[in-house]
């Protein structure tokens, strides 16, 4: 089976086995065993809902060791423009940029530098009458994975184009080599606002290998930069202080509605938050919704401003970003934004290979086995209480039924089933406890203070 | 496996429920996505026809290892001339309705295009039975 990398990891020493993560997962990829969450790697789309809901901060997002930037003679930072919108208003772009340079980077580029070029590419795809409509954006990697696992029939609608971060990375490598820097000396580090972007870099969909050398979590860099600024350790740089001059709408790209802003015709929708996206894709799969040309779909509420690695409130981040964008000109010239001089080269290098579905709904590879299993799942689900209480360790009664059919769970994990069996002497309390302990571990069922509670 | 679903005439809000359920099952069986799509498009069209024209109806779904057969029985006005209704562009809709983009005469032809077998029987004043069969 294909190895799928996930950026989200559990810290079992902090986990109290509360199963909030199980309840929120949009692809039902987490169940509880022995008091700990277990991730189904084939289902997880790295959206990070579990990371946000975890009350114990027991889920972390892996990143590369920051020190690895020093392994390269020319470390380059590729940073989403949303980064600076996390800082309070009074911290200037110039200070932020200077502090980043202070950390040891040779060059700093904003990801959205390539957006103007990408937009041309999208518009061209939209004009292509043979393209399957609606074209679905591949900007948000959690959405790409969602479609792979949950909406296999829509995989052919995905726009097979690299996202801005990879296009800008191609440009950086090209332009720096032209300036005489050896390719092996260039290390491009991307600042990730979410887990999905990290997963997409570590195991890209539709590509062999990513052109990014390392990943730094956005909240990690935010803290590091803020400290440098607060302590005033850096020297203000005289050069460029609004990063690089990119156009107004490029700065708005990562916010909700950013991709459809410059599509001058047709029916285009922007939808954010993963459950909203699922609702819409369900509809799209059912009724052939006529005449929709383009779908911008983002897993996070408020898109990248709501990225799980962003520091602060997503609405405030989006507002600051819009404010910064307002100050930018509508269009920029190739003299201002050098990447535009490389348009032809980049456009011929921005497509990605085919994306394959890997349906999570499929009960078995063999259709007659799948059929038998489906029948059983129906029967078992009907016998279960349908309250989706999660005491069995699964998100829903149906999820337990599926696990039972696949021989990975015991129907007696269900609290209601246990009570029913106890009434008819088919299960003893000791046996029932043993089964429940297997799901929730020892601690939750051995609270001495409760055992000796005086109920009189 | 056999399933039955009820459809109420005039209930546009819930039109598509059966197609959605059938879609979920076909996905679980691992049926090729393009066949899932065809089946759902044909069924949705037929389901909406009941909602739009009939008083009520029942949808019977039979899932086999290599096929799905769907029979939609409705109590309704029926179709006077089925051959004509199967013609692309034929429509009984008024110009006003057509103006809004409905009644383009693509309903049955579209169902035919998306099913391997389509059988339509109708008795005027009583109702219509549509059978859709798709093979995996």
- Using the predicted structure, report yes or no on whether residue B121 has a pLDDT greater than 60: yes
pLDDT score of A432: 94
Q: In this complex, do A374 and B20 lie within 8 Å of one another by their Cβ atoms?
A: no
Peptide bond into B34 cis (omega under 30): no
Query: In chain B, which residues have their Cβ closer than 8 Å to the Cβ of A374?
Result: 1, 25, 28-29
Contact with chain A for residue B52, Cβ under 8 A: no
Show residues of chain B in contact with A375, CB under 8 Å: 1
Out of B1, B27, B34, closest to residue A371 by CB: B1
- DSSP letter for each residue of A396-417: SHHHHHHHHHTTSS-GGGSHHH
pTM: 0.89
Compute the distance between CA of residue A449 and CA of residue A454 in angstroms, rounded to an integer: 10
What's the rounded Cα separation, in Å, for the pair A228 and A234? Answer: 7
Q: Which residues of A touch B136 (CB under 8 A)?
A: 367
Q: How confident is the model at residue A62, as a pLDDT?
A: 85
For B109-134, what is the mean pLDDT?
93
pLDDT of residue A450: 84
Q: In whole angstroms, give the CA distance from residue A357 to residue A318.
A: 33
* Secondary element (H or E) of residue A437: helix A429-440
Give B8-40 pLDDT, tens digit per residue: 998 988 888 999 999 999 999 989 888 998 999
- Residues on chain A touching B20 (C-beta within 8 angstroms): 282, 286
Binary contact (A363, B29; C-beta < 8 A)? yes
Q: Give me the CATH topology for the region A1-59.
A: Alpha-Beta Plaits (3.30.70)
Specify the DSSP class assigned to residue A158: B
Report ipTM for this prediction: 0.80
The pair of structure tokens assigned to A402 is 């599926």
Residue with tokens 């200077």: A98
pLDDT at position A439 is 95
More confident of the two residues B108 and A321: A321
Q: What pLDDT was estimated at residue A250?
A: 94
Would you say A46 and A141 are in contact if contact means Cβ atoms under 8 Å apart?
A: yes
Tell me the domain boundaries of chain B.
Answer: 2-135
C-alpha to C-alpha distance for A387 and A210, rounded to whole angstroms: 44
Helix, strand, or coil here: B63?
A: strand
Orientation of helix B17-28 relative to helix A274-286, angle to 10°: 100
Please indicate whether, in this complex, the C-beta atoms of A375 and B37 are within 8 angstroms of each other: no
Put simply, whether B65 touches A (Cβ < 8 Å) is: yes
Print burial letters for B22-55: b (CB count within 10 Å at least 16), e (below 16).
bbebbbbbbbebebbbbbbbbbbbbbbbbbebbe
User: Whole-angstrom Cα distance, residue A399 to residue A408?
Assistant: 11
A-B contacts at Cβ under 8 angstroms? 59
Which among A279, A285, A382 is the top mutation candidate for probing chain B, defined by the most B β-carbons within 10 Å of its own β-carbon? A285
How many beta carbons lie within 10 A of that of residue B89, not counting itself? 8
Distance from the B27 Cα atom to the nearest Cα atom in chain A, whole angstroms:
6
Give dist(CA A432, CA A450) in Å, integer.
19
Burial label for B76, CB within 10 Å (0-12, 13-18, 19+), is buried
Hey, how many other C-beta atoms are within 10 angstroms of the C-beta on A167? 25
Query: In this complex, do A286 and B30 lie within 8 Å of one another by their Cβ atoms?
Result: no
Closest approach of B124 to chain A, Cα-based (Å): 28
Residue A362 with chain B: CB contacts under 8 Å? 27-30
pLDDT at A1: 44
CATH of domain B2-135: 3.30.565.10
Alpha carbon distances (Å) from A143 to A39, A151, A270, A419: 19, 10, 13, 41
Which of the residues A287, A290, A405 would you substitute to probe the B interface, choosing the one with the greatest number of B C-beta atoms within 10 Å? A287
Domain with CATH 3.30.70.20 in chain A: 1-59
Say yes or no for a CB contact (<8 Å) between B19 and A367: no
Is B30–A364 a contact, with Cβ atoms under 8 angstroms apart? yes
How do residues B53-100 score in pLDDT, each as one tens digit? Answer: 999 999 999 999 899 999 999 999 998 888 888 877 777 777 776 666
Sheet holding A107-110, edge to edge: A107-110, A74-79, A186-192, A214-217
Which residues from B are below 8 Å from A357, CB to CB?
Answer: 33
Report strand pairing: A268-272 vs A294-298. parallel
CA distance A246 to A51: 33
Chain A CB contacts of B46 under 8 Å are: none
Measuring CA to CA, how many Å separate A433 from each of A230, A330, A404, A436, A444?
A: 55, 66, 19, 5, 11
Whether B13 has its CB under 8 Å from any CB of chain A: the answer is: no
B63 touches chain A (CB under 8 A): yes
B128/chain A closest Cα distance in angstroms:
22
Q: Please judge whether A371 and B65 are an interchain contact, meaning their C-beta atoms are less than 8 angstroms apart.
A: yes
The sign of the CA dihedral A178, A181, A187, A190 is negative
The whole-number pLDDT of residue A23 equals: 95
- Find the CB nearest A375 among B1, B16, B36: B1
Residue among A359, A365, A368 whose CB faces B65 most closely: A368
Q: What residues in chain A have per-residue pLDDT under 70? A: 1-3, 239-244, 288
Q: Please name the residue of chain B whose CA is at the shortest distance from the CA of residue A290.
A: B101
Name the closest residue on chain B to residue A356, using Cα atoms: B33
The per-residue pLDDT for A197 is 93
């Amino acid at each position: 089976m294909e190895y799928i990398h996930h950026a989200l990891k559990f810290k079992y020493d902090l986990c109290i086995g509360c199963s909030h993560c199980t309840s929120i997962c949009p692809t039902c990829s987490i169940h509880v065993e022995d008091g700990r969450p277990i991730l189904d790697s084939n289902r997880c789309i790295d959206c990070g809902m579990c990371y946000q809901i975890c009350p114990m901060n027991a889920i972390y997002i892996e990143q590369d060791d920051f020190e690895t930037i020093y392994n390269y003679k020319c470390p380059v930072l590729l940073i989403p423009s949303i980064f600076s919108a996390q800082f309070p208003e009074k911290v200037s772009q110039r200070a932020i940029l200077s502090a980043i340079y202070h950390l040891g980077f040779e060059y700093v580029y904003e990801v959205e530098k390539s957006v103007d070029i990408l937009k041309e590419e999208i518009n061209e795809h939209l004009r292509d009458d043979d393209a399957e409509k609606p074209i679905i954006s591949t900007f948000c990697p959690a959405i790409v994975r969602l479609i792979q696992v949950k909406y296999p029939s829509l995989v052919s609608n995905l726009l097979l184009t690299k996202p801005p971060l990879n296009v800008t990375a191609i440009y950086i490598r090209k332009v720096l080599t032209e300036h005489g820097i050896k390719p092996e000396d260039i290390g491009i580090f991307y600042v990730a606002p979410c887990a999905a972007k990290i997963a997409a870099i570590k195991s890209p969909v539709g590509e062999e290998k990513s052109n990014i050398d390392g990943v730094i979590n956005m909240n990690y860099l935010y803290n590091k930069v803020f400290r440098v600024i607060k302590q005033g350790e850096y020297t203000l740089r005289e050069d460029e202080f609004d990063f690089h001059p990119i156009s107004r709408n490029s700065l708005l790209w990562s916010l909700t509605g950013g991709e459809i802003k410059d599509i001058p015709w047709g029916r285009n929708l922007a939808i954010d938050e993963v459950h909203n996206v699922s609702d819409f894709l369900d509809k799209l799969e059912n009724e052939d919704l006529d005449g929709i040309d383009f779908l911008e779909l983002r897993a996070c509420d408020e898109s990248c401003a709501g990225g799980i690695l962003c520091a602060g409130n997503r609405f405030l981040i989006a507002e600051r970003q819009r404010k910064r964008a307002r100050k930018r000109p509508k269009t920029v010239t190739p003299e201002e934004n050098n990447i535009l001089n490389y348009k032809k080269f980049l456009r011929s290098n921005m497509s990605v290979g085919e994306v394959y579905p890997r349906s999570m709904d499929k009960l078995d590879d063999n259709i007659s086995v799948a059929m038998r299993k489906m029948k059983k799942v129906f029967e078992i689900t009907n016998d279960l209480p349908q309250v989706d209480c999660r005491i069995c360790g699964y998100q829903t009664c149906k999820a337990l039924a599926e696990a039972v059919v696949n021989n990975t769970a015991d129907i007696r994990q269900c609290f209601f089933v246990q009570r029913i069996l106890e009434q008819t002497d088919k299960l003893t309390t000791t046996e029932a406890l043993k089964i429940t302990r297997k799901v929730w571990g020892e601690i939750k069922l051995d609270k001495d203070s409760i055992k000796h509670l005086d109920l009189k | 496996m056999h399933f039955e679903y009820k459809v109420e005439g005039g209930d546009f809000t819930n039109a598509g429920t059966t197609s959605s359920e059938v879609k979920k099952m076909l996905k679980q069986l691992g049926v090729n996505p393009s066949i899932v799509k065809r089946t759902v498009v044909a069924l949705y069209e037929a389901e909406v026809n009941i909602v739009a024209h009939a008083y009520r109806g029942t949808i019977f779904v039979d899932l086999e290892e290599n096929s799905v057969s769907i029979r939609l029985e409705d109590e309704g006005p029926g179709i006077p001339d089925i051959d004509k209704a199967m013609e692309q562009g034929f429509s009984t809709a008024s110009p006003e309705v057509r103006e809004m983009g409905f009644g383009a005469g693509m309903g049955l032809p579209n169902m035919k295009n998306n099913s391997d077998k389509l059988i339509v029987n109708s008795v005027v004043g009583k109702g219509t039975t549509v059978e859709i069969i798709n093979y995996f």
